[in-house]
Amino acid sequence: MILFLAIILSLPAAAADTLLIGDSHTVGFFGQKLFREIDAARYAVGGTTASHWAQNEICPDQKKCPFRYGYATPAIPTLKGGTPPPPHMAGLAGSLKETDAKTVVIALGTNDANRSSCGSGSIDAMVKLVKQVGDRPCYWVGPPQYRQGPLQGSCGKKYDAFVDEMKARIGDRCVFIDSRKIVDPQTKRPVEADLNDKLHFSQRTGEIWAEAVAAEITKAKKAEKEIAAYLEDLQGLGEMGAAGDCYGAIQRAVLE
């Protein structure tokens, strides 16, 4: 086993245009579908929050690493459960260096809400994490609707306000994809956790969620190209001040 991990960690990381990071949703069916839809290098660890990904390593102390809910890397594209992530698995900054990604997709928020009882302090950690993205295009996939299960127990009526605050504070830098608005075509209701723990998604609903998110990212990228062309035209005319906030314009395009 040690030799196996050593071989994996010694392999050169494949360059990728898009980096996808996340928690157990991204390890599971949602992430398995999404990383293929958007052609991304996926690094995900079940149980993680924004503060974990802001560290140099997900588990600085491997002996006390609490994450045994599963993980995924480009070397392990399905699901590796029951064991902690590989030693020295990098956070966001290190993953960006490994992949040389030009675009970042972050799918976090469920654990942040649950562990903080929807406290604003966990959103502070998200804002700090976004700073590591630099000037790369960024897309943040917000958590889905939770009308039952652990999130209702820890947050209750505060949950929607928490996600709204996420959108407000992250959305001026990253395109925020509000998963609460993604509808299951079968039930005609927002997608929601349908496994027994009322926290995670089956393959059917996880893939519906992923396909909708991929479509939103595609739409946002198209808008970004159009805005970039518009900015270039304005620059040529000497009217850059009229362009406004590029990311704000992309955000509006996604929400329309």
Higher pLDDT, 27 or 221: 27
User: What's the token pair of residue 95?
Assistant: 């993953």
Residue-wise pLDDT tens digits, 186-196: 999 999 999 99
Which is it for strands 76-80 and 103-107: parallel, antiparallel or unpaired? Answer: unpaired
Higher pLDDT, 162 or 220: 162
Domains of the chain: 2-207 (3.40.50.1110)
pLDDT at 256: 54
Strand boundaries in the chain, DSSP class E: 18-22, 40-45, 71-73, 76-80, 103-107, 138-141, 175-177, 183-184, 189-190
Cβ-Cβ contacts under 8 Å for 179 (sequence gap 6 or more): 141, 142, 143, 144, 145, 191, 209, 213
Compute the C-alpha angle 153/174/253, nearest 5°.
105
Residue 218, CA atoms < 13 Å, CB-side half-sphere:
10
What spatial distance separates the first Cα and last Cα of the chain, rounded to whole Å?
A: 50
Residue-wise pLDDT tens digits, 75-113: 887 776 777 888 889 999 999 999 999 999 999 999 999
Whole-number Å distance between alpha carbons of 204 and 192: 11
The pTM assigned to this predicted structure is 0.86
Query: Could you give the 3-state DSSP secondary structure of residue 42?
Result: strand
Residue range 11-29: mean pLDDT, rounded: 84
Residues forming a β-bridge with 175: 139
